[in-house]
Structure 1
């Protein structure tokens, strides 16, 4: 690259102006910020992704549109994935992940031609379902064309995780919450972590493979309402236990900006019922992403109380 080309295509750098740096310095709350889709379709697509991920990549654009539209009709979120370092094999991988409580599993397959995905059943994908936490997959958002922070912070974390579990780590397209980069989605549990640093890679892998939750960087579990995510994460922070040891049973509005979430704690005998009160409010006005041209607010979810109801 010539000096002139370098000036016209500057390499992004992490500075104090970056959204992830500002959010971390402000200690922006992360609870309840996982996306609402409980099922995902992962499509391996090496090479660059545009802002819209698979739709703006080297994948056949017509096939990509049809795959995404069909998935969206079923409530399935599509993520483009690639190996750290972007190696390309003879056949690419696809996976269907179900993160719904009690149904957590993944099915993997492969394809050679893009159009093969048009024949894939998202409700009954062919293959052997994987459920063992020791086989969990780590997706790290490195979608730099969506926000530079995702690449700047995500790629080092993806490399650190790949150094520990090279066969189970993928870079992925946008998962939301750019300011919380690096974002790591664990499948099939559906636990989404934010502001993950390379120094936390070992702890994250170890906790995941024990079937446990790394409480501090937890954003929430995909597929649940924000208040349910916040309540569940609060319980998991207060009471150590396995990721599947808790189940949200109900969420009832108690006011215009509050709810009571009932959670079953199944990790003890006898099981317990816990009621967690959650309130939410608008944050202060901030420039939330690097690409935003004007400041905005978001809803902040805050657990404010927890009581044990009775033995379940």
Structure 2
């Protein structure tokens, strides 16, 4: 008898796994266009010149940047033209910065390494990254590709497919960078609505995993305010205080002008029972859950 195939995203949705508080921390991303097959471990597995590969890896590690492979939806190995690279940098002022270039030889990636030491250009439109990394996790490909197709049809310029961004069970996952916003549990229709609202600077709570400049409990607190008061701009809410006593957090958040109200939000953290959290990993593991228990206007 053949065992039923396991899909981590189906399992997570059946359990009702919470999205808020699950965005990985990060402020800098390096994008490297690669049209060929993506190794399971992404950039680390590419057969590049060892010196050039290590140069970019070490420069990225020095600033805690994450390297993601990217490609256009529908492109195939052998498509003509140079490949692109980018360095995307979050800025708390909202003046997020980007620097783009091209590469044809492995040695050209040194330009991306150099760009990690430069500020970059502000004011460019954000990049929409859709995880479709099937060799890392089956659900990322099965759920990510329809989202990449829908978003690419609507916004062909800023949308790229990318390697693993974290949170396989929340596929389809979208990272908008350098804004530093993660969305999960998307399909074709919902992704067009969510990304369209984001590009209009209206972040909704419904599919929000979190902001990458915040820690998980802080992400959950901001998501709770968005759920209560409705969508708001990426920088409308500011975390102004955080204290912790064991699993209990108190997060103070200031809301948008003109009222600029302050809120004290209590968040508790606990470990969920062990489950399989990825398609390709048979072992069960536990995840932290961040639950908002109260919101008080100060």
**Do they superpose with TM above 0.5?**
yes
Matched ranges for 1:168-187 at <5 A = 168-187=158-177
After alignment, is 244-253 or 83-92 more displaced?
83-92
Give 2:271's aligned residue: 282
Please tell me whether the aligned partners of residues 84 and 159 of structure 1 are also in contact (alpha carbons under 8 angstroms): yes
Give 2:102's aligned residue: 110
Q: Distance in 1 between matches of 2:135 and 2:258?
A: 49
Q: CA deviation at 1:59?
A: 4.1
Q: Distance in 2 between matches of 1:16 and 1:216?
A: 29
Matched ranges for 1:215-234 at <5 A = 215-234=205-224
Q: Distance in 2 between matches of 1:37 and 1:117?
A: 21
Which 4+ residue blocks in structure 1 deviate beyond 6 angstroms?
A: none
User: Cα 1:65–1:144, aligned 2, differ >3 Å: closer, same or farther?
Assistant: farther
Aligned to 1:193, which of 183, 195, 209?
A: 183
Report the 3-state secondary structure (helix = DSSP H, G, I; strand = E; otherwise coil) of the residue aligned with 2:55: helix
Q: CA deviation at 1:125?
A: 5.1
Q: Is 1:247 aligned to 2:252, yes or no?
A: no
Consecutive unaligned residues in structure 1, runs of 5 or more = 1-14
Give 1:68's aligned residue: 57
Per-residue CA distance 1:116-145 (angstroms, 9 max, x = gap): 22242313155x3235xxx22210001111
Q: Distance in 1 between matches of 2:211 and 2:99?
A: 19
Give 1:130's aligned residue: 123
Q: Is 1:147 aligned to 2:141, yes or no?
A: no
Please tell me whether the aligned partners of residues 184 and 194 of structure 1 are also in contact (alpha carbons under 8 angstroms): yes
Q: CA deviation at 1:190?
A: 1.0
Q: Distance in 2 between matches of 1:72 and 1:214?
A: 32
Aligned to 1:19, which of 8, 19, 23?
A: 8
Q: TM-score, normalised by structure 2?
A: 0.91
Give 1:3's aligned residue: none
Q: Distance in 2 between matches of 1:48 and 1:56?
A: 10
Q: Distance in 1 between matches of 2:49 and 2:157?
A: 26
In the alignment of these two chains, the number of paired residues is 289
The two structures, once aligned, show a CA RMSD in angstroms of 1.8
Consecutive unaligned residues in structure 2, runs of 5 or more = none
